[in-house]
C-alpha cells in the first residue's frame, strides 16, 4: 500500500509539472494568420525587426508611450515572435525604454523565466526569493550585461542614470503573464478589504484606503 501511495504521489507531481509548462510543439512552426490565403513561409517570416527599427527614437518613445506612463517606462511587446506569419511556442520578447530614473515596479511572470540584456544606459535589477528567506538579489547592469530572473519571483528594473536606457527581454513562454504587485494588491476589483491589508502591512486602514485610490 505504501509503495502504491508513493507511486501515486510521484505521478501527481510529474503531471503537475507538465501542465504547469507550455506544451511541446508538435511541428517546427505554424502559420499564425489563419485568414491569410497566401500561407507562404520564407526567411522573412523568421526575422523580427519591429523592436529594433526604432533605434534613435528612445526619447520620444519613453515620454509618449501609453504603457507604465507614470513610471517613466514604455514596454513594446511582441508576444509571439518573430512575427504573425510564423508562430512559435514557449518564447516571447519585449523592448523596454526607460526615461531617466524610470522604473518597472515589482512584478512577477507566473509562467516564465526572464532574461534581460541592456542595450543602452545603466539599469538596476533585482529579485526576491520565495519564503522563508525572501532574500533580495540586486545589481546595477551596464551596456551589454545580461541578467536572469527566475520564474515567478518578484522582480524589478530601474534606470539609475540621468540618460535614457534601453533593454531587451526574452521570456520562456509565449504567454508569460504579468502580475504587478502594487496593482494586484491595491488595485484589484473589487477591492481587498482594508482591514486585511492593514494587518498585512502593519499600517492604519486609512493609509490603505489612500493607497488604493492611487490605483
The domains of the chain are located at: 24-174, 178-215
pLDDT (0 to 100) of residue 122: 95
User: Cβ atoms within 10 A of the Cβ of 74, count?
Assistant: 22
Distance of CA 49 to the CA centre of its chain: 20
At residue 65 the predicted structure's pLDDT band, cuts being 50, 70 and 90, is: very low
Q: In this structure, what C-alpha cell is assigned to residue 66? A: 501609453
Q: What secondary structure letter does DSSP report for 30?
A: B
pLDDT at 199 over 90: yes
In this predicted structure, what is the pLDDT of residue 83?
44
Mean pLDDT confidence for 94-110: 89
In this prediction, residue 73 has a pLDDT band, given cuts at 50, 70 and 90, of low
Indicate whether 26 pLDDT > 70: no
The pLDDT, as a whole number, for residue 99 is 86
Angle at alpha carbon of residue 161, lines to 159 and 167, rounded to 5°: 40
Instruction: Give burial (CB, 10 Å; 0-12/13-18/19+) of 75.
Output: middle
Which residue stretches of 21-134 are H helix? 58-64
Band of residue 197 on the pLDDT scale cut at 50, 70, 90: very high
- Kindly state the cell numbers that stand for 5: 501511495
CB 113 within 8 A of CB 171: yes
Please give the mean pLDDT across all residues of the chain: 76
Confidence at residue 125, expressed as pLDDT on a 0 to 100 scale: 96
pLDDT, mean of residues 191-198 = 95
Predicted local confidence at residue 29, as pLDDT: 60
* pLDDT above 60 for 52: no
For residues 80-105, give the mean pLDDT.
Answer: 70
**pTM score, whole prediction:** 0.71
Checking if the pLDDT of 88 tops 60, the result is no
Annotated binding site for Mn(2+): 107, 109, 114, 155
Sign of CA dihedral 48, 52, 53, 54: positive
Binding residues: 107, 109, 114, 155
Average pLDDT of 65-87?
52
Q: What is the DSSP letter of 191?
A: P
d(CA 81, CA 151): 20
**Would you say domain 24-174 falls under CATH 3.90.440.10?**
no
d(CA 88, CA 84): 9
- The span from the first CA to the last CA of the chain, in angstroms, equals 53
What's the pLDDT tens digit per position in 121-157? 999 999 999 988 899 999 999 999 999 999 999 999 9
**Percent of the chain predicted with pLDDT > 90:** 40
**Cell numbers representing residue 47 in the block:** 526575422
Residues whose CB falls within 8 Å of the CB of residue 87, separated by 6 or more in sequence, listed in order: 29, 30, 31, 32, 80
Q: Which residues contact 73 (CB under 8 A, 6 or more apart)?
A: 62, 65, 67, 96, 97, 98, 99, 102, 103, 104
More confident of the two residues 55 and 147: 147
Q: Output the known binding site for oxalate.
A: 109, 114
Distances (CA, A) of 167 to 104, 120, 145, 146: 12, 7, 10, 10
Q: Under 8 Å CB-to-CB from 190, ≥6 apart: which residues?
A: none
pLDDT reading at 62 higher than 80: no
Amino acid at each position: 500500500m505504501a509503495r502504491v501511495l508513493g507511486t501515486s504521489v510521484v505521478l501527481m507531481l510529474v503531471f503537475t509539472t507538465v501542465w504547469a509548462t507550455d506544451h511541446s510543439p508538435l511541428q517546427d512552426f505554424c502559420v499564425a494568420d489563419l485568414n491569410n490565403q497566401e500561407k507562404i513561409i520564407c526567411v522573412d517570416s523568421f526575422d523580427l525587426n519591429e523592436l529594433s527599427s526604432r533605434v534613435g527614437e528612445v526619447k520620444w518613445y519613453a515620454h509618449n508611450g501609453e504603457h507604465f506612463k507614470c513610471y517613466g517606462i514604455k514596454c513594446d511587446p511582441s508576444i509571439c515572435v518573430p512575427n504573425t506569419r510564423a508562430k512559435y511556442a514557449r518564447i516571447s520578447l519585449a523592448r523596454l525604454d526607460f526615461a531617466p530614473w524610470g522604473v518597472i515596479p515589482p512584478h512577477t511572470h507566473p509562467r516564465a523565466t526572464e532574461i534581460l540584456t541592456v542595450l543602452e544606459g545603466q539599469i538596476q535589477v533585482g529579485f526576491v526569493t520565495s519564503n522563508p528567506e525572501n532574500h533580495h538579489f540586486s545589481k546595477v547592469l551596464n551596456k551589454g550585461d545580461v541578467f536572469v530572473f527566475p520564474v515567478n519571483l518578484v522582480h524589478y528594473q530601474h534606470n539609475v542614470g540621468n540618460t535614457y536606457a534601453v533593454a531587451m527581454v526574452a521570456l520562456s513562454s509565449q504567454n508569460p503573464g504579468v502580475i504587478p504587485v502594487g496593482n494586484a494588491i491595491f488595485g484589484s476589483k473589487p477591492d481587498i478589504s482594508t482591514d486585511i491589508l492593514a494587518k498585512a502591512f502593519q499600517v492604519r486602514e486609512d493609509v490603505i484606503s489612500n493607497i488604493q485610490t492611487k490605483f
